[in-house]
Amino acid sequence: DSGVTQTPKHLITATGQRVTLRCSPRSGDLSVYWYQQSLDQGLQFLIQYYNGEERAKGNILERFSAQQFPDLHSELNLSSLELGDSALYFCASSASGRGLDEQFFGPGTRLTVL
Amino acid sequence: ELKVEQNPLFLSMQEGKNYTIYCNYSTTSDRLYWYRQDPGKSLESLFVLLSNGAVKQEGRLMASLDTKARLSTLHITAAVHDLSATYFCAVERETGNQFYFGTGTSLTVIP
């Protein structure tokens, strides 16, 4: 158990809908990362937050957005969902987010868009 | 865009044998990460390599980084079945803190 929690574990929805994925980092970690894993695209880095502020952006679509709240949990919002958004979404946390720390991954949320 | 290539993509090896997984990347970076993923599971961080010449070892796995060659290796010594998993390398771009993952190497250790 990494100490990172994600909810929900599974999510099934229809095209055009909007969903929110939630991540709670390990106690004391300030940085949260979001990743998408799919058969087509492999593992892709989406976005990083550090202590409430966006730190880095990867291949995140404009239909997707994220935020990190004062209690350091993070949410990833996916809107206007398409079939191709079906994937496993991981969040990870690290202590400082400067790339010097190990990242601890959550169990993931499996999103299925029908 | 930074490209990260791993090879081989699939590796089937017998218990007790040694093998190396290679990770090549296309731009300058001083930070490279190795992860392990078991089927249906999340990713587990194995190694963080932060400088040229860095070498880290944990059990039967040893990782090294050559930033001049833009190459990292993950060496497996005397493989055991428990090492069966998919291994990913990831490179952190020097600017922007963006992470780029390799395609992964699916390792199967056969008794």
pLDDT tens sequence across B68-103? 999 999 999 999 999 999 999 999 876 556 788 999
Q: Which residue in the set B45, B96, B103 is minimally distant from A103, CB to CB?
A: B45
CB atoms within 10 A of CB B86: 20
Q: Which residues of B touch A105 (CB under 8 A)?
A: 35, 42-45
Does an H or E element contain B110, and which?
strand B105-110
- Give the side-chain half-sphere CA count within 13 A for B94: 8
Q: What is the pLDDT of residues A19-77, one digit of tens each?
A: 999 999 999 999 999 999 998 889 999 999 999 999 888 889 999 999 999 999 999 99
The residue type of A59 is N
Q: Which residues of B touch A45 (CB under 8 A)?
A: 98-101
Q: What is the pLDDT of residue A84?
A: 95
For A38-53, give one letter per residue: b (16+ CB within 10 A) or e. Answer: eeeeebbbbbbbbeee
From the centroid of its chain, how far is CA B66?
13
Q: What is the pLDDT of residue B75?
A: 97
Judged against a pLDDT cut of 90, whether residue A96 lies above it is answered with no
Instruction: Kindly state the percentage of chain B with pLDDT values over 70.
Output: 95
Q: What is the pLDDT of residue A1?
A: 81
Cβ atoms of A88 and B43 within 8 Å: the answer is no
CB contact under 8 A, B99 and A102: no
CB atoms within 10 A of CB A110: 16
Q: Which residue in the set B43, B50, B104 is minimally distant from A90, CB to CB?
A: B43
